[in-house]
Amino acid sequence: MRRSLMAAACLLAAFWFLFAEIAPPSAGQAAATEEQVRAVVQGWLDAEGRGDRAALVRLIAGDFVGHAYGGNIVYREDIIPHEEGQARASKMSLKTFSARAFDSTAVAMGRVSVTNESESGEFLFTLVLMKRGEGWQIVAAHLSR
């Protein structure tokens, strides 16, 4: 009996430590992280619009992989302009946005309005971001129209 009680106490303590470690973030922490992720996403859109190579190098991880329109697999070197100022769109606006963070990983989803000189439209995105070094980086993406 005493052995069973001791085993139950150890099991209870183990579960307490496990669940205390993975407790969900407070509402304030979640909101702060969502704002950080939103800032990265907006920074990505702004950098794409300006053709800001330096900003894109900082925001998009070296091991990035994604799916572009039509299902093509793209890597970092495929999406970062080779020269500064090679803009892809004149204006990109975030229309809807949501994010969820899981420790040092976040998932962001939303809808973007794109305006070019010749056309305009929208696309949907799902991004996976990781907190690395000094900030968040985009490590994976899926874009669709």
Give the pLDDT score at 88: 65
Architecture of the domain delimited by 27-144 = Roll (3.10)
User: What is the structure's pLDDT at 139?
Assistant: 98
Mean pLDDT for the chain overall: 83
**Mean pLDDT for the stretch of residues 72-98:** 85
- Write the single-letter amino acid at 108: A
Q: Which of 145, 139, 10 is nearest to 66 (CA)?
A: 139
